[in-house]
């Protein structure tokens, strides 16, 4: 990464942050934010608020309406409930927290315009990152199988994870299964469009920005990515989800626009939906740990994709470094 990404500390004064390495716009945007409470506290309010409202309150409401046997609930009603929960318990709190704590919603969420070529550059990265993470899951699950076979403790944990993973996959299978084009469009709206807006506004918008005001950008992005992964309750997909979250956060930080991560989030979920439509559960990143595969092929693929992904990250950093120099020169 470049020095700006590693060393800048948005919470400090311009002098402490090497003002010559930052655009005037970026400095002015940070200086006009006057949080009513500590930004770190604000970030955890967002995390706890989003978790409590969506996972607990939303979960209780869902159980009250559909009962404990969610798999037998009317699927379209469940889909609409899922969409309403995202909007009411994730998007709305993120916007309200931004207004109450920072007053300036646009700067906190980073509702800034971005060029299509920038979105395209980051999209190349997600195209490489997704299969790379899928190979990681296969490698991870292979070694978990080996550990579980030699350790009763690990096996007990794995059995628990398998049960949780089965419930997650069953829920997503019901959510994604369609019988018509209209139903397919509804699924795309609920699984790709709505989460791309709601989760990005909360995580890469309110939460990450709050962390950035007190932590180095890399730490702010990493912490937000970790919480993003944990939020999804996917045992075998935890690390890949953290990886996606970190990449989304990196994209928002570099581009200074929430619309980039929204586009990436939508693209990732949309591709997952299309894969499910064609091959079913076997295409899900969070598939069970006993999936058969060739270890050497998976490792080779992972290393090759990691090398390609590193090149893309280098090109992204180079692009924004050159863009910053161009803006300073007034070209």
pLDDT reported for residue 259 = 98
Distance CA(63)–CA(49), nearest Å, equals 20
CB burial readout 118-149, b (16+ within 10 A) else e? bbebbbebbbbbbebbbbbbbbbbbebeeebe
Supply the DSSP symbol for 283: G
Cα-based angle 223, 225, 228 (whole degrees, multiple of 5): 110
Question: How many CB atoms are closer than 10 A to CB 65?
Answer: 12
Asked if 249 and 224 touch (Cβ cutoff 8 Å), the reply is yes
Cite the DSSP H helix spans in 201-293: 208-212, 217-231, 238-255, 258-279
Give the gyration radius of the chain's Cα atoms: 21
Say what the pLDDT of residue 59 is.
72
Residue 253 CA to its chain's centroid (Å) = 13
| Residue range of the domain that includes 220 | 3-329
Q: What φ, ψ does residue 263 adopt, rounded to 5°?
A: -65, -45
Query: How many domains does the chain divide into?
Result: 1
Whether the Cβ atoms of residue 176 and residue 220 lie closer than 8 Å to each other: no
Q: How confident is the model at residue 287, as a pLDDT?
A: 44
- Distance between CA 24 and CA 42 in Å, rounded? 26
Ramachandran area for residue 45 (φ above 0: left; ψ -120 to 50: alpha; else beta): alpha
Q: What is the pLDDT of residue 171?
A: 75
State the pLDDT at residue 288: 46
What Å distances lie between residue 8 and 18, 72, 256, CA to CA? 8, 51, 14
Cβ burial 183-196 (10 Å sphere, 16+ → b, else e): eeebbbebbbbbbb
Task: Tell me the two tokens of residue 13.
Answer: 């004064």
What are the per-10-residue average pLDDT scores of the chain (331 residues)? 44 40 50 87 90 77 70 76 89 95 96 96 97 94 91 90 81 83 93 96 97 96 96 89 97 98 97 87 50 84 98 97 84 57
Whole-angstrom distance, CA of residue 242 vs CA of residue 150: 28
pLDDT score, position 62: 73
Alpha carbons within 13 A on the beta-carbon side of 61:
16
What does the pLDDT read at residue 187? 94
The rounded distance, in Å, linking the Cα atoms of 191 and 16 is 42
Q: What is the pTM of this model?
A: 0.87
């Amino acid at each position: 990464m470049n020095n700006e990404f590693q060393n800048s500390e948005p919470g400090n004064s311009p002098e402490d942050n090497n003002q010559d390495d930052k655009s005037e716009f970026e400095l002015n945007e940070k200086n006009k934010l006057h949080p009513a409470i500590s930004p770190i506290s604000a970030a955890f309010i967002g995390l706890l608020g989003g978790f409590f409202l969506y996972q607990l309150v939303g979960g209780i409401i869902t159980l009250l309406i559909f009962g404990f046997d969610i798999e037998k609930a009317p699927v379209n009603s469940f889909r609409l409930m899922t969409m309403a929960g995202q909007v009411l318990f994730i998007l709305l709190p993120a916007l309200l927290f931004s207004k109450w704590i920072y007053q300036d919603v646009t700067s906190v969420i980073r509702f800034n315009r971005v060029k299509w070529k920038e979105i395209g550059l980051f999209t190349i990265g997600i195209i490489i990152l997704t299969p790379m993470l899928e190979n990681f899951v296969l490698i991870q699950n292979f070694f978990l199988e080996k550990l579980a076979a030699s350790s009763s403790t690990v096996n007990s944990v794995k059995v628990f994870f398998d049960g949780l993973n089965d419930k997650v996959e069953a829920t997503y299978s019901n959510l994604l299964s369609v019988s018509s084009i209209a139903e397919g469009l509804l699924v795309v709206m609920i699984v790709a469009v709505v989460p791309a807006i709601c989760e990005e506004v909360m995580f890469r918008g309110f939460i990450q920005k709050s962390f950035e005001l007190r932590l180095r950008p890399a730490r702010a992005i990493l912490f937000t990515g970790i919480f993003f992964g944990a939020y999804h309750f996917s045992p075998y997909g935890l690390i890949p989800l953290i990886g996606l979250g970190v990449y989304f956060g990196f994209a928002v930080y570099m581009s200074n626009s929430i619309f980039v991560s929204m586009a990436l989030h939508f693209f990732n979920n949309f591709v997952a939906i299309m894969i499910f439509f064609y091959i079913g559960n076997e295409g899900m990143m969070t598939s069970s740990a006993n999936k058969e595969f060739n270890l050497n092929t998976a490792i080779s693929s992972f290393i090759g994709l990691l090398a390609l992904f590193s090149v893309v990250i280098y090109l992204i950093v180079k692009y924004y470094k050159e863009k910053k120099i161009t803006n300073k020169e007034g070209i």
